[in-house]
Amino acid sequence: MLERFPITQYINEEGELVRQDIKEGLSLDLIKIFYEKMLRARMMDKKCVNLQRQGRIGTYVQYEGQEAAQVGSALAIEEGDWMFPSYRDHAATMTFGHSLRNLLLYWVGRIEGGIPPEGKNIFPPAVPIASQLLHATGAAWAEKKKNTDRVSLVYFGDGATSEGDFHEGLNFASVFKAPVVFFNQNNGYAISVPTEKQMNSKTIAQKGLGYDIPSIRIDGNDILAVFMETQKAVERARSGEGPTLIEAVTWRYGAHTTADDPSKYRDQSESDRRRTTTDPLLRLERYLKQQNSWDEEWLASIEQKITDEINTALAEMDDVPEAEIEQLFNHVFEKPTWTIEQQREHHMSIKRGQV
């Protein structure tokens, strides 16, 4: 299966272009945009980890190391399409237009954090594992029924492929030819359980075979491979050819969450090694250097721009008034039931000291 599903790469670890056929579409401007988007995601992630350490946000789920997989795929869809993230995919959602303010609010436990900007179809992150594959399939199926060319892009990890909903999602999408792109980030671990204990199969891509879904394996740390191959899958979906399964092989440098200690179950020196070898940002830096296009001033200017953006978001987070108690009771139903009304009134009257 490893031969059948080779890992597609466009730029290798040394920053060399290994596929000449894309050279025309590969402008330095585009590479710089990719770099900037990934740097933005990485800086935001680092900031969130720091905020958690300072106790300013709650338990946080980091993605450092997976920027190419998330940013590259998110750039392959457009406004009007649908995105279904898991809890580790804020690099994807912020690239697709989720505001940094709401991203931060999500991690301070605010409902507002799950709400995308107007016009952006981004679901709140799915916390159960693999359940979102079905929502993506259903929403994509709805677009097909409405005769549009809109698609769904759904994210999930390697552990998710053990869940029934992964298989049900692929099966439904295949049967109904739903325009959905299943984007797997195989980072090697489902919390502490390594891939080889998760599945006996050598690849995740091969699981698509059982559903007659075209499936590919790509270098998830190579943003060019991610962007180009996701774009192809999106185009397939748009033109009515149905779903695609993409396995993006990647690595999370850090822990599963800020509450997890990865040194218990894996050798963290692997992460140190990867920072100097497979890192998605380093790879583009090397490429740009080889093209004599690396520019420290440019880097400093985008770092400053991103820092400003994050600081603005942080100030917005701090400025948000406390959550209104009413939020507990609102939006459970369009019209609250009498039980909820009664509970609200009782709770509020005690808060007001009237009882």
Helix (H) or strand (E) segment spanning residue 316: helix 296-319
325-328 long-range Cβ contacts below 8 angstroms, 24+ apart: 325/351, 327/111
What's the token pair of residue 197? 């204990």
- What is the SS3 assignment for 7? strand
Least Å from the CB of residue 229 to other proteins:
24
End-to-end CA distance of the chain: give it in Å, rounded: 69
Can you tell me which of 128, 194, 210, 240 binds other proteins, judged by CB under 8 A? 128
Least Å from the CB of residue 5 to other proteins:
25
| Catalytic site includes residue 236 | no
Torsion of CA 245, 250, 254, 260, to 10 degrees: 40
Q: Is 114 in the site for other proteins (CB under 8 A)?
A: yes
**Helix crossing, 132-145 with 164-175: angle to 10°?**
10
Q: Which letter, b or e, does each residue of 180-198 get, where b requires 16 or more Cβ atoms within 10 Å of its Cβ? A: bbbbbbbbbbbeeeebeeb
Q: Is 97 in the site for other proteins (CB under 8 A)?
A: no
What's the token pair of residue 208? 């698509």
Q: What is the per-residue binding string for other proteins in 45-84, x denoting contact by CB under 8 A?
A: -------------------------------------x--
**Contacting other proteins within 237-276 (CB under 8 A):** none
**Contacting other proteins within 295-354 (CB under 8 A):** 327, 330-334, 337-339
Least Å from the CB of residue 178 to other proteins:
8
**Contacting other proteins within 173-192 (CB under 8 A):** 175
Q: Is 226 in the site for other proteins (CB under 8 A)?
A: no
Cα dihedral 279, 280, 285, 286 sign: positive
Can you tell me which of 93, 99, 137, 250 binds other proteins, judged by CB under 8 A? 137
Alpha carbon distance 210, 206 (integer Å): 8
Can you tell me which of 24, 29, 54, 164 binds other proteins, judged by CB under 8 A? 164
Which residue in the list 40, 42, 150, 252 is annotated as catalytic? 252
Least Å from the CB of residue 195 to other proteins:
24
For 278, phi then psi, to 5°, come to: -90, 5
Residues annotated as part of the active site: 252, 256, 265
Q: Residues interacting with other proteins, by CB under 8 A? A: 82, 111-112, 114-116, 123-124, 126-128, 131, 133-143, 145-146, 152, 164-165, 168-169, 171-172, 175, 327, 330-334, 337-339
